[in-house]
Amino acid sequence: MNGQSAGKSFAYILGVYIGDGCITRPKNKPNVSYTFRLDVIDKDFAVKFKEELEELGCKTKFREYERNSKPCYIVETRNKDLTKKLLEETNHKKLVPEYINKWSKEEKLSFISGIMDSEGFISKRKKIMKSGLPSF
């Protein structure tokens, strides 16, 4: 794994974490490590996320199950270094780390791709609101 690839994988994972990811630890088991989990209905998204985690050297679990007669997918990792980094550097998803501004264009695009894959879509506003806010 080269440095550029690792940077792009981490960027994507950070975007997914901010968008849809969840890091938890059982409250009654303080010695159990944190689990980074993604639970989605899009198999391609789940597979991509799993591949990016593995690119960083994380062991993963991939499961498929049904919810309301529809397939769903879970990807999990218990990589202590990754979960600690994500929790600390985003203040538990309350901020986007400033170092992203210094990333290469490819890393920034991977970060945006991770957010977009998890959050859905971007659309152009069709009606301009008269709220005093600028339109784009």
* Domain range annotation of the chain: 3-119
CB-based contact 56:10 (threshold 8 Å): yes
pLDDT of residue 29: 81
pLDDT of residue 134: 43
pLDDT of residue 1: 38
CA-closest candidate to residue 42, choices 76, 72, 77: 72
Tell me which CATH homologous superfamily contains domain 3-119: Homing endonucleases (3.10.28.10)
Q: Which position has the token pair 């290469």?
A: 104
Mean pLDDT per segment of 10 residues, for the chain of length 136 residues? 67 95 86 90 96 96 94 95 95 93 94 88 54 43
Distances (CA, A) of 45 to 39, 40, 80: 10, 8, 23
CB-based contact 61:44 (threshold 8 Å): no
pLDDT of residue 15: 95
Residue at 82: amino acid letter: L
